[in-house]
């Protein structure tokens, strides 16, 4: 059965939860493919959160990589799955747990003894749990904003691929800025450029917007468990830009 990102409608047969399960597969190729997909989709929100806590770039990179590798461990995933909420909530909760564990593990080791992905020369992060308590809102909002941008960009990339595969790449490039109203050209100017009528351009923009909404909803559907949560998640993701 096709996944929701491959069809106009919304289905819940393939979600990020099933991706997590594949990441914990004993089959190396299956696990690596799932981990690669997870990293590709959600690395930036996790990095944004870690950097917001005060970690330097190279330490944040190490922590993010170690976090996604940790998701391969079934015990860790099973524990995290007991957390209620959307996949976004699960991932952030799991990341916080991971960072706290790494901080506690660092303090439990003698300096220079054993390998740890947490820099031993990061004074601002000596008390990570306290930092997370005092700065909890700002890093969380930062995470959500990056999460929203990732989903919006992913939906736009899928839309671009559809138009390109159907031989309409030029149409897409001419109309993409009309999706959010940032185009510097009027419909009449676009019509002249494409040698179309203005009503045809308006219709093409409406169709593109409709398809973009379908793809966006399908992408979000893969991160929640029910159809009722899709609209709720869309409202939340757009609302954070006004915060």
pLDDT digit string, tens, across residues 25-72:
677 777 777 777 777 778 889 999 999 888 988 999 999 989 988 876
The mean pLDDT value for 138-155 works out to 87
CA 12, CA 30: separation in Å to the nearest integer? 20
Q: What's the whole-model pTM score?
A: 0.68
- Provide CB contacts within 8 A for 243, sequence distance 6+: 141
The confidence score (pLDDT) of residue 122 equals: 37
- Provide CB contacts within 8 A for 82, sequence distance 6+: none
More confident call, 78 vs 91: 91
The mean pLDDT value for 99-119 works out to 64
The confidence score (pLDDT) of residue 172 equals: 97
Confidence label for 5 from pLDDT (cuts 50, 70 and 90): very low
The confidence score (pLDDT) of residue 34 equals: 72
Q: Could you tell me which of 125, 131, 87 has the C-alpha nearest to residue 107?
A: 125
More confident call, 16 vs 175: 175
User: Residue 10 pLDDT > 50, yes or no?
Assistant: no
CA dist 60 → 45, 63, 74, 90, 176 (Å):
12, 5, 24, 20, 34
The full set of domain ranges for the chain reads: 4-242
**Burial class of residue 126 in the structure, from the number of CB atoms within 10 Å of its CB (0-12 exposed, 13-18 middle, 19+ buried):** exposed
Cα 93-53-122 angle, rounded to 5 deg: 120
The mean pLDDT value for 209-230 works out to 87
| Residue bearing tokens 């109203």 | 181
CA 159, CA 157: separation in Å to the nearest integer? 5
Secondary structure percentages of the chain, helix, strand, coil, to 5 = 75, 0, 25
Q: 51-60, 82-91, 118-127: which range is least confident on average?
A: 118-127
More confident call, 50 vs 73: 50
């Amino acid at each position: 059965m096709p996944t929701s990102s491959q069809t106009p409608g919304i289905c819940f047969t393939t979600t990020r939860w099933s991706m997590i399960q594949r990441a914990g597969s004993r089959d190396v190729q299956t696990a690596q493919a799932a981990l690669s997909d997870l990293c590709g989709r959600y690395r930036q929100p996790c990095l944004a959160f870690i950097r917001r806590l005060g970690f330097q770039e190279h330490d944040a990179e190490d922590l993010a990589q170690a976090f996604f590798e940790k998701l391969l461990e079934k015990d860790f995933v099973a524990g995290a799955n007991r957390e209620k909420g959307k996949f976004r909530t699960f991932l952030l909760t799991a990341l916080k747990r991971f960072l706290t564990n790494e901080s506690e593990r660092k303090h439990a080791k003698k300096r220079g003894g054993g390998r740890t992905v947490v820099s031993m020369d990061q004074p601002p992060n000596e008390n990570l749990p306290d930092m997370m308590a005092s700065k909890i809102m700002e890093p969380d909002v930062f995470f959500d904003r990056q999460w929203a941008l990732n989903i919006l960009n992913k939906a736009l990339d899928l839309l671009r691929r559809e138009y390109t595969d159907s031989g309409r790449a030029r149409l897409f490039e001419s109309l993409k800025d009309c999706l959010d109203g940032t185009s510097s050209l009027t419909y009449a100017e676009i019509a002249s450029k494409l040698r179309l009528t203005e009503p045809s351009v308006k219709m093409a923009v409406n169709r593109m917007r409709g398809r973009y909404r379908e793809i966006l909803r399908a992408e979000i559907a893969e991160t929640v468990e029910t159809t009722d949560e899709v609209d709720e998640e869309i409202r939340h993701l757009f609302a954070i830009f006004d915060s």
